[in-house]
């Protein structure tokens, strides 16, 4: 059967899902500014899982069609399409594994084929927001169940028995009454002629019969290729006649090229050409910054050529951006009232009447993603056709943007998705692919644009910079009766719309307005802040500064009242309940509140679980300390305990990390553990070293020497991960991002326990050395 070669009308599906074309690039919809959405995913009859997700509201929604995702060859090899981008989360394995599970395919006879960018065909492909399993667990099960049903129907017809008497088991269909069996390969041609069953009638497997899901015994599909150097990332694409390009971009965001002298560059052996690259005015969305490209026979020559360029820039409106001055501006703004995004009770009055007010001012600078593979793309543009090979998180969006940038129809653009050498949100923005497309068009040959690490650090889409100020008012008994949180940070929306000074709804919903504590008087405010560089999504986004501030404040309150951190945390979370903040259209990671409420029972549970497994309160050696933090993000609940050791010179090490995660129904616990282990490293990196700063509009850092990340010799000795077993109807939630936010505050609370020093400004840097 080849479902792919047998298109035809969708059956049983089209009446439930209406897919409107919503351009990925109408990005403002994601920022909650305009509507125009797709209808929700099919309403399921109550089966193994019954829940609704926001998947149907994503651009191009969900496609549940086995003919798009599955094919079976006569030799029995089952090919399953992975339509999301693999950047290290394991999604290229996990989603096809779900299909294989439901269709009873034997994983050793399954091949995974990477989808190119085509959201009309495959549904939404934008791999960010920790959404893949959350949005596709059920659709992938339905796809697998459909394919299984078609194979069973074909076998039943062949044998002339009712379909209810046959059953697919491990890559064959069996008729147990007669003992007959037919392999999937033998049934392929007939099954392809079967109609696709209606979704409502599909029978999903009982969880107790799972062979692969929730077991965690399947390695990622690229494991062998990765360990032998065969795995193909964006940088590894080679085409006949391909040229290598490195681009000099404006050192200040919004700057423009005034003039350039190519002579010295052209003398470098291997350099063939020097040419201008078109840039877009700021704010430039995902469009290229422009500059000068050096074209060479290899990347080494192109880099050497670029170093020899003489360039004159007009730095433009952001030439004065200075991080020291900007920090003051943000902090001053945080001390004055701002736009109120959530209000319950009367925080002003309660703070005035409080017995004690604790004030915490926290600062978190810009961060760069520094995915191990710097941005890179290959393009081959011929006439009105373009083909791209690139490590992009959003292949559909890239296709759309390439078409618009070149002025050709979207149907003429093919976007091939390679493996991504890390993404972390950077590769959601396809500027590097657009650069390659523009250059290839002009050169008439295939071209690879390679960003150097310096380019990546200096010309990226940075994590925002923020000042967070929290005032907590306590009554005589030490109970917190008032909470005012002001968060001041340039918004990601500033990269799309000039004049943006407030956080977008999705940023407000990341740890500010959705704060879960049971406090009578709450005010959450967002004073104004303008952006002076490109701001973008960074793994877990605004949750980083918000969790840092809120969970540090919990530690400060515990410290001021002489309470245990964990007890204080549980007291603030309060009773088990569904939190309904007084916020109009509170952003909930795009998910319906019914399926994904803010549930403090689950929040409490991860705190209690990590406290138990991580032995909260255990005796630690002198100079060591324990810290705890919890945070809900991407509709998952995560609590972390960090044990830190600080020596008398102020050098810190992390002997142990314990993390409990409740991500609902899950697929692959082994990959969940690897994501959480990695999140601890990223959390430690940003806490210890993470800072991109500006002077005269220019980024002050350049490479891993001055933008450091944690190395193996300073990484936690052990990170233990505990996964909360899901209830039968608990919908799946995010895994890739939510591990990051609680780490830094748990570490900071641990440092306080170890040293009595309270760190309020990240990175820690030399603060412990004093």
Contacts with other proteins, residue ranges (CB under 8 A):
86-90, 219-220, 222-224, 226-233, 235-236, 238, 244, 268-270, 297-301, 303-304, 370-374, 419-424, 450, 452-453, 670, 674-675, 677-682, 703-705, 709-713, 715-716, 718-719
To the nearest 5 percent, what fractions of the chain are helix, strand and coil? 30, 25, 45
Other Cβ atoms less than 10 A from the Cβ of 35: the count is 7
Query: Smaller CB distance to ligand FES: residue 17 or 303?
Result: 303
> What does each C-alpha distance from 10 to 20, 196, 205 come to in angstroms?
16, 7, 23
Q: 97 is in the binding site of which of other proteins, ligand FES, none (Cβ under 5 to 8 A by kind)?
A: none
**Torsion sign across C-alpha atoms 546, 287, 421, 698:** negative
DSSP state of 137: H
Query: Smaller CB distance to other proteins: residue 226 or 530?
Result: 226
- Rule CB under 6 A: is residue 61 a binding residue for ligand FES? no
| 466-474/356-364 β-pairing | antiparallel
Cis geometry, peptide bond prior to residue 763 (ω within 30 degrees of 0): yes
Query: Smaller CB distance to other proteins: residue 309 or 419?
Result: 419
Query: Smaller CB distance to other proteins: residue 2 or 708?
Result: 708
Q: What are phi and psi of 484, to 5 degrees?
A: -125, 120
CB of 620 to other proteins, least distance (A): 20
- Rule CB under 6 A: is residue 39 a binding residue for ligand FES? no
CB of 683 to ligand FES, least distance (A): 16
- In the shown chain, the binding pattern of residues 85 to 124 toward ligand FES, with x for contact by CB under 6 A and - for none, equals ---x------------------------------------
Instruction: Give strand pairing partners of 246.
Output: 294
Query: Smaller CB distance to other proteins: residue 510 or 657?
Result: 657
Q: 220 is in the binding site of which of other proteins, ligand FES, none (Cβ under 5 to 8 A by kind)?
A: other proteins
> Rounded distance, CA 243 to CA 441, Å?
12
- Rule CB under 6 A: is residue 372 a binding residue for ligand FES? yes
Q: 86 is in the binding site of which of ligand FES, other proteins, none (Cβ under 5 to 8 A by kind)?
A: other proteins
Query: Smaller CB distance to other proteins: residue 421 or 741?
Result: 421
Query: Smaller CB distance to other proteins: residue 273 or 276?
Result: 273
Binders of ligand FES among residues 252 to 311 (CB under 6 A) are: none
CB of 421 to ligand FES, least distance (A): 6
Q: 270 is in the binding site of which of other proteins, ligand FES, none (Cβ under 5 to 8 A by kind)?
A: other proteins
Can you list the positions of beta strands (E) in 116-208? 166-169, 172-175, 180-183
Query: Smaller CB distance to ligand FES: residue 92 or 546?
Result: 92
User: Are 532 and 318 in contact, with CB atoms under 8 Å apart?
Assistant: yes
Which H/E stretch holds residue 661? strand 652-662
Greatest C-alpha distance within the chain: 83
Q: 189 is in the binding site of which of other proteins, ligand FES, none (Cβ under 5 to 8 A by kind)?
A: none
User: Are 470 and 483 in contact, with CB atoms under 8 Å apart?
Assistant: yes
To the nearest 10°, report the CA torsion of 726, 731, 735, 740: -90
> Rounded distance, CA 392 to CA 756, Å?
45
The footprint of ligand FES on this chain (CB under 6 A) covers a number of residues equal to 3
Q: What are phi and psi of 704, to 5 degrees?
A: -70, -5
Q: 224 is in the binding site of which of ligand FES, other proteins, none (Cβ under 5 to 8 A by kind)?
A: other proteins
Instruction: Give strand pairing partners of 557.
Output: none
- The pair of three-digit structure tokens given for residue 125, joined into one six-digit string: 């492909």
Q: 232 is in the binding site of which of ligand FES, other proteins, none (Cβ under 5 to 8 A by kind)?
A: other proteins
Q: 306 is in the binding site of which of ligand FES, other proteins, none (Cβ under 5 to 8 A by kind)?
A: none
User: Are 461 and 540 in contact, with CB atoms under 8 Å apart?
Assistant: no
> What does each C-alpha distance from 761 to 327, 590, 645, 764 come to in angstroms?
11, 31, 19, 7
CB of 719 to other proteins, least distance (A): 6
CB of 228 to other proteins, least distance (A): 4
Query: Smaller CB distance to ligand FES: residue 5 or 705?
Result: 705
Query: Smaller CB distance to other proteins: residue 603 or 676?
Result: 676
CB of 682 to other proteins, least distance (A): 6
DSSP labels, 448-492: EEE--HHHHHHSS-BB--EEEEEEEEE-TTS-EEEEEEEEE---G
23 CB burial (10 A radius; 0-12, 13-18, 19+): middle
Q: 680 is in the binding site of which of ligand FES, other proteins, none (Cβ under 5 to 8 A by kind)?
A: other proteins
Instruction: Give strand pairing partners of 652.
Output: 646
CB of 112 to other proteins, least distance (A): 15
CB of 704 to ligand FES, least distance (A): 8
| 521-526/480-488 β-pairing | parallel
Query: Smaller CB distance to ligand FES: residue 422 or 473?
Result: 422
Query: Smaller CB distance to ligand FES: residue 262 or 422?
Result: 422
Q: 319 is in the binding site of which of other proteins, ligand FES, none (Cβ under 5 to 8 A by kind)?
A: none
CB of 368 to ligand FES, least distance (A): 15
Q: 419 is in the binding site of which of ligand FES, other proteins, none (Cβ under 5 to 8 A by kind)?
A: other proteins
Residue 244: closest CA among 291, 297, 306:
297
Q: Which residues contact 119 (CB under 8 A, 6 or more apart)?
A: 24, 59, 60, 125, 396
Q: What are phi and psi of 113, to 5 degrees?
A: -115, 130
CB of 307 to other proteins, least distance (A): 11
Query: Smaller CB distance to other proteins: residue 481 or 673?
Result: 673
How many residues in the chain?
A: 770
Query: Smaller CB distance to other proteins: residue 236 or 658?
Result: 236
- Rule CB under 6 A: is residue 223 a binding residue for ligand FES? no
Match 């050096």 to its residue by tokens: 294
- Rule CB under 6 A: is residue 697 a binding residue for ligand FES? no
Residue 568: closest CA among 484, 660, 474:
474
CB of 658 to other proteins, least distance (A): 13
Which H/E stretch holds residue 763? none
CB of 281 to other proteins, least distance (A): 31
Query: Smaller CB distance to other proteins: residue 207 or 717?
Result: 717
CB of 452 to ligand FES, least distance (A): 10
Q: 418 is in the binding site of which of other proteins, ligand FES, none (Cβ under 5 to 8 A by kind)?
A: none
Closest residue (Cβ) to ligand FES? 372
Task: Return the residue of 255, 422, 509, 731 that touches ligand FES, per CB under 6 A.
Answer: 422
Residue 484: closest CA among 520, 441, 537, 447:
520
Q: 223 is in the binding site of which of ligand FES, other proteins, none (Cβ under 5 to 8 A by kind)?
A: other proteins
Which H/E stretch holds residue 297? none
Q: In what order do the strands lie in the sheet with 376-382?
A: 271-277, 291-296, 243-248, 447-450, 376-382, 385-390, 413-417
Binding site for ligand FES (CB under 6 A): 88, 372, 422
């Amino acid at each position: 059967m080849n479902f792919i070669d047998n298109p035809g009308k969708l059956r049983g599906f089209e009446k439930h899902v209406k897919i409107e074309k919503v351009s990925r690039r109408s990005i403002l919809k994601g920022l909650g500014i305009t509507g125009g959405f797709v209808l929700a995913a099919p309403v399921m009859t109550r089966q193994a899982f019954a829940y609704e997700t926001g998947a149907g509201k994503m651009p191009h929604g969900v496609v549940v069609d086995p003919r798009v995702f599955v094919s079976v060859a006569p030799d029995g090899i089952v090919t399953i399409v992975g339509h999301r981008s693999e950047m290290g989360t394991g999604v290229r394995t996990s989603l096809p594994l779900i299909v294989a599970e439901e269709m009873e395919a034997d994983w050793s006879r399954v091949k995974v084929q990477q989808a190119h960018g085509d959201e009309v065909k495959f549904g939404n492909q934008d791999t960010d927001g920790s959404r893949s399993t959350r949005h596709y667990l059920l659709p992938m099960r339905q796809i697998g169940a459909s394919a299984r049903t078609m194979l069973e129907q074909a076998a039943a017809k062949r044998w002339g028995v009712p379909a209810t008497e046959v059953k697919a088991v491990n890559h064959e269909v069996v008729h147990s009454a007669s003992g007959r069996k037919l392999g999937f390969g033998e049934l392929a041609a007939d099954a392809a002629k079967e109609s696709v069953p209606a979704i409502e009638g599909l029978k999903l497997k009982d969880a107790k019969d799972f062979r692969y899901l929730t077991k965690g015994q399947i390695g990622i599909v690229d494991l062998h290729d990765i360990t032998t150097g065969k795995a193909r990332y964006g940088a590894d694409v080679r085409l006949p006649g391909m040229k290598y390009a490195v681009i000099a971009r404006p050192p200040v965001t919004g700057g423009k090229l005034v003039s350039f002298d190519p002579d010295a560059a052209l003398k470098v052996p291997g350099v063939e050409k020097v040419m201008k690259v078109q840039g877009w005015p700021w704010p430039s969305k995902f469009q290229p910054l422009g500059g000068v490209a050096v074209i060479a026979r290899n990347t080494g020559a192109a880099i050497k050529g670029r170093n020899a360029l003489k360039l004159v820039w007009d730095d433009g409106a952001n030439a004065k951006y200075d991080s020291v001055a900007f920090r003051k501006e943000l902090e001053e703004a945080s001390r004055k009232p701002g736009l109120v995004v959530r209000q319950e009770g009367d925080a002003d009055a309660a703070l005035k009447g409080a017995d004690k007010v604790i004030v915490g001012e926290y600062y978190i600078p810009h961060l760069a993603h520094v995915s191990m593979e710097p941005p890179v793309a290959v393009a081959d543009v011929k006439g009105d056709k373009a083909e791209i090979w690139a490590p992009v998180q959003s292949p559909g969006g890239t296709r759309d943007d390439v078409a618009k940038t070149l002025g050709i129809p979207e149907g003429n653009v093919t976007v091939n998705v390679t493996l991504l050498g890390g993404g972390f949100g950077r590769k959601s923005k396809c500027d590097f692919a657009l650069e390659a497309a523009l250059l290839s068009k002009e050169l008439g040959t295939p071209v690879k644009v390679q960003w150097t690490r310096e380019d990546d650090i200096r010309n990226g889409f940075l994590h925002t910079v923020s000042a967070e100020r929290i005032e907590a008012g306590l009554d005589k008994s030490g109970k917190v009766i008032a909470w005012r949180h002001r968060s001041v940070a340039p918004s990601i929306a500033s990269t799309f719309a000039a004049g943006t000074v407030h956080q977008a709804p999705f940023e407000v919903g990341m740890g500010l307005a959705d704060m879960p504590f049971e406090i009578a008087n709450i005010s959450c405010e967002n004073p104004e802040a303008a952006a002076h560089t490109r701001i973008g999504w960074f793994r877990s986004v605004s949750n980083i500064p918000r969790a840092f501030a809120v969970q540090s404040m919990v530690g400060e309150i515990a410290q001021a009242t002489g309470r245990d951190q964990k007890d204080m945390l549980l007291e603030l979370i309060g009773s088990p309940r569904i939190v309904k903040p007084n916020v109009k259209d509170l952003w909930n990671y795009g998910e319906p509140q019914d399926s994904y409420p803010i549930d403090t029972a689950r929040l409490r549970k991860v705190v209690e679980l990590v406290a138990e497994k991580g032995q909260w309160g255990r005796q630690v050696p002198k100079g060591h300390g324990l810290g705890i933090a919890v945070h809900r993000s991407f509709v998952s609940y995560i609590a972390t305990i960090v044990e830190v050791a600080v020596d008398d010179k102020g050098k810190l090490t992390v002997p142990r990390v314990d993390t409990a995660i409740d991500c609902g129904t899950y697929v692959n616990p082994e990959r969940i553990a690897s994501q959480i282990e990695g999140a601890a490293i990223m959390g430690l990196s940003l806490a210890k070293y993470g800072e991109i700063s500006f002077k005269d509009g220019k980024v002050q850092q350049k490479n891993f020497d001055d933008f450091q990340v944690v190395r193996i010799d300073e990484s936690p000795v052990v990170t233990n991960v505990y996964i909360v077993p899901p209830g039968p109807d608990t919908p799946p939630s995010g895994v890739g991002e939510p591990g990051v936010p609680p780490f830094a505050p748990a570490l900071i609370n641990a440092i306080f326990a170890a040293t009595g020093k309270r760190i309020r400004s990240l990175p820690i840097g030399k603060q412990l050395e004093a």
